[in-house]
């Protein structure tokens, strides 16, 4: 179904995803309508498929961005703090910023201290993400207000300086469910993370091995509840590029 949602414009793409139930919320639909994928995908921007953006990275298929926003939506309130790991082109970082901003506010900075931090270990991708966001008035306002920032660092370690986070989104497949990211979640807070289960086979000390799970990549939704307890749920089989070290120069 997802592969039949492509369009000739951003609006047609998003409307198709909404009609097919891959986007369920009006909030997510409206946020994606406000961020033109043509500013972020160098080719076939309105195809519902992943697209290469250089440096071994991709921009995920639009339906996966829709899924991520839907799973995280409960925690994407005005003023929320969000960490977008593996931010790549900057597309989802921009959509997340729209979701934590009151659309009736003239100044995006008005929503308390909420912000979205995009983190990638490749400086060139962060440079591209900033250029992409500057293609629209909306994106420029987010950058200039500090509502959106891009940091070059190892996303597997998170970015504690901007937390704790209501939401952590991970846009590349992790070798494990990194405990340091769970620690940077607020209580309550939620993380959406693809995990390479096969990498956990034989790793008796890892979190997933203790759960008795292995094989393939899956999206995990990790909730830190108000009392600090952590609940994990495996929700979707996926195929993401790996969350790895920065390439050697």
Mean pLDDT, rounded, for 122-144 = 97
CA dist 196 and 173 (Å) reads: 6
How far apart CA 183 and CA 175 sit, in angstroms, is: 17
CA-atom Rg of the chain in angstroms: 17
Res 239 pLDDT > 60: yes
pLDDT of 17: 96
Active site residue 60: yes
Strand partners, 168: 83, 191
Q: Where are the domains of the chain?
A: 61-238
CB atoms within 10 A of CB 149: 17
CA 132 – CA 45 distance, rounded (Å): 13
Mean pLDDT of the chain: 86
The predicted structure's pLDDT at residue 113: 74
Q: If residue 120 lies in a helix (H) or strand (E), which one and from where to where? A: strand 115-120
- 227 by Cβ neighbours in 10 Å (0-12 / 13-18 / 19+) ranks as exposed
113 within 8 A of 162, measured Cβ to Cβ: no
Query: Measuring CA to CA, how many Å separate 56 from each of 40, 85, 159?
Result: 16, 16, 23
Q: Closest Cα partner for 199 from 180, 177, 167, 166?
A: 177
- If you average pLDDT over residues 13-24, what whole number do you get? 95
> Span 38-46, mean pLDDT?
94
Residue written as tokens 């250029």?
131
Q: Which of 8, 25, 43, 60 is catalytic?
A: 60
> For residue range 98-132, what is the model confidence (pLDDT) as tens digits?
999 966 544 544 456 799 999 999 999 999 999 99
pLDDT over 90 at 186, yes or no: yes
Q: Which CATH architecture has domain 61-238?
A: 3-Layer(aba) Sandwich (3.40)
* pLDDT of amino acid 66: 95
| Rounded Cα gap, residues 18 and 41, in angstroms | 20
Q: What is the mean pLDDT of residues 237-245?
A: 61
CA 95 to centroid of chain Cα atoms: 9
- Owner of token pair 């009609």: 19
Closest to 154 measured CA to CA, from 115, 182, 181? 181
């Amino acid at each position: 179904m997802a592969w039949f949602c492509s369009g000739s414009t951003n609006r047609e793409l998003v409307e198709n995803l909404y009609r097919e139930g891959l986007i369920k919320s009006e909030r997510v639909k409206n946020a994606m309508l406000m961020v033109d994928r043509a500013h972020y995908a160098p080719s076939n921007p309105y195809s519902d498929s992943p697209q290469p953006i250089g440096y071994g990275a991709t921009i995920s298929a639009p339906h996966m961005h829709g899924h991520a926003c839907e799973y995280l939506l409960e925690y994407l309130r005005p003023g929320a703090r969000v960490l977008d790991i593996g931010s790549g082109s900057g597309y989802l970082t921009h959509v997340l910023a729209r979701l934590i901003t009151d659309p009736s506010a003239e100044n995006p900075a008005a929503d308390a201290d909420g912000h979205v931090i995009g983190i990638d270990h490749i400086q060139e991708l962060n440079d591209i993400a900033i250029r992409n966001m500057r293609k629209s008035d909306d994106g420029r306002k987010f950058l200039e207000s500090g509502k959106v920032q891009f940091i070059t660092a190892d996303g597997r370690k998170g970015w504690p300086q901007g937390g704790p986070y209501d939401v952590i989104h991970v846009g590349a497949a992790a070798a494990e469910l990194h405990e340091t990211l769970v620690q940077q979640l607020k209580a309550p807070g939620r993380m959406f993370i693809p995990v390479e289960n096969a990498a956990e086979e034989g790793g008796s000390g890892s979190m997933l091995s203790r759960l008795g799970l292995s094989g393939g990549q899956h999206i995990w939704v990790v909730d830190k509840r108000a009392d600090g307890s952590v609940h994990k749920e495996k929700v979707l089989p996926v195929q993401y590029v790996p969350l790895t070290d920065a390439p050697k120069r």
